[in-house]
Each structure stands twice: as structure tokens, then as C-alpha cells.
Structure 1
């Protein structure tokens, strides 16, 4: 698959990665990287940076059924809950993974006074058009 196709698909996926309702509660998702994985046909690596202002949060969502995710806290502290696991607070330098199709009911800045930033790296089916779907 050509890189332009992957980047185009990734752009669509990233554009839908955070629904507009999530932006209303205070997160900003910025595309960082998109590339087909040459030795794993049909898979791509997509990275996004999620910025949370003080008190900001993402709307509850699920991830694509094909996506394995590694999240890394760049700065600040992120409070996160994946599936039925306990809610945890991760500080800058901490990371965690999320299994394919994970439910993400909590993803937010743990601070009301300082911003926070994380890098989310997805290994996903190249044809998946949405990285996340809002929970209604």
C-alpha cells in the first residue's frame, strides 16, 4: 500500500479519533505519525498527541476492534481507566497498553491547574477508518 493511501486513511481515522463531543470537554488530538507496517501486511502504525488543559478530559469512548494501543505520558498526570481495570493516575514518563476494542470510560488530566499531554500509538488494521467511537 502506498504511503499516501495510509496517510489519507490515517488522517480520516485521526479526524474521527476524538468525536466533537470529546473536544467540548477539553482535549485536543493532533496527528503525529502514520505509516503502513511493511512486514505486517494490512497493519499500520498511527500516533496522535492528546493535549489536556487543566481539568480537561476525553469523552468516554471505545477503540477500534483491531487497534492495540500504547500510551505514554509526555507531561503532567493522566487519569485513565481501561475496560474494567481500576482507575489509575500516570505521571510523565509512565506508559500503559490497551487491548484491541478496549473501552476507555475515563481519560483525563488529573490536575485542575496544570496541563497534561500524552502520546497514543495505535497498531491498527490499515482499513479501519475510525480509531475511536463515542460511548452513548
Structure 2
């Protein structure tokens, strides 16, 4: 019961928090039209007369996700792609599950600030300030603690406990975007030129090739 109350309060704050993000809507709602041919900054609207309650609802966020992967975490997003009713409302959320010592690797959200609350376990979290300082701001969070990651800054989380951990994140955009640093640098299609990566990371070609092979 306490967990449910905490989550409801957190979501309420998140909706207020999201008001300063994506542009304010000019109508009651604009449910995303799947497969729409119109290209806009966002998604085209479904005919309001055909909108149903299910357009604003998503089930299953209480279910643990499978963290059996290389990083030991799994993000379950609730973005406009999963919940069409979020279109134009300027907010989204995600559930994040962590295996013991699992990480949500360094990444950025180019279109959103993130606020995260720990539901279970212990998380070490942090973000890095922009150039030239690149200062790490980090903290260990316990159940019920909240932390904010400013828009666009590289940030991460790590389960620093021996039990599974769970967090809920709210983001100030219906489509915040995710750029995972390692995937972007070493897993792009096509590859970034070898000499660029060698100079950028100050390592030799063999190391770059080895890292690229992971992605």
C-alpha cells in the first residue's frame, strides 16, 4: 500500500513537472494516430470522436522485467509510442529494473529532464556536467529517495546492493529520446571512422575494434 501511495504522489508531481517541457497543447488531447502519413513535430492526431479510454491507459508496469543481459538492467518505457494519449502532453515515464550490481549505462535524454524515485533497493546515481569541467555529481539513493538528471547531461544508475532494485523515472517530454554513449560511439551504422575514434578516446585501433565488436 505504501509503495502505491508513493508512486501516485510521484506521478502527480511528475505531471506538474512536465508542464514546462514540450509545448503546451491547444486542445484537450491529441491521441497519436498510428501509421499517420502527416509528418509533424510530434505525431498526428487521431479523430477525437474515435478516442477510447484505452488510448490513455497502459497495463503491466508492476511486472518485473528480465535483466539477464550484458548490463544487468531493463528499461520499460511509457513514451508516446507505448501510450498514444501522451501525444502533445509533454510528459512520459519508465520503469527500470536492475539486477544486483546491474547498471543503466551512461546515456542522455536530448529532449527531457528526468526525475527518478527508488521503489526498491539501493542505487548509486550520477550525472556529469558539461565541458570544460565534466564534474561528476553522484549520490547513493535508498528506497523512497528522489534524484534529478538535468536535460541533455550524461547520467547513469547502478544497483549497489545485493538484491534486485526498481525505480520509476518521469521525463519532461512525451518522446525524450535516449542516446547511450557507448552504443552511439561504437555501434553506429555505418561505423564512425576508425581514426576519429582513436583520436577521440586516445587508444589504439585494436582496442577500438574490440569495443566495436561488442556492439
- Partners of 2:177 and 2:143 in 1: CA distance: 24
Q: Give 2:159's match in structure 1, choosing from 88, 92, 109.
A: 109
Name whichever structure is richer in strand by fraction.
1
CA contact (8 A) 2:114 2:148 kept: yes
- TM, length-normalised to structure 1: 0.70
Structure ranking higher on relative contact order (CA contacts 8 Å, 6+ apart) = 1
Number of residue pairs matched? 111
- Aligned mates of 1:74, 1:46 — CA distance in 2: 18
Residue 94 (structure 1) aligned with residue 140 (structure 2): no
The runs of at least 4 aligned residues of structure 1 exceeding 3 Å deviation read none
Asked which structure has the greater CA Rg, the reply is 2
Unaligned runs of 5+ in 2: 1-28, 35-41, 43-68, 129-134, 183-215
For 2:102, the equivalent position in structure 1 comes to 56
RMSD: 2.5
Where in structure 2 are the equivalents of 1:19-34 lying within 5 Å?
A: 23-32=69-78, 34=83
Using the size of structure 2 for normalisation, the TM-score is 0.46
What pairs with 1:1-136 in structure 2 (closer than 5 Å)?
A: 2-5=30-33, 23-32=69-78, 34=83, 35-36=86-87, 38=89, 44-64=90-110, 66-83=111-128, 84-104=135-155, 106-111=156-161, 113-124=162-173, 126=174, 128=175, 131-136=177-182
Secondary structure in structure 1 of the residue aligned to 2:32: helix
Alpha-carbon displacement from aligned partner over 1:32-72 (angstroms, at most 9, x marks no partner)? 4652455xxxxx211100000111111211221x2011111
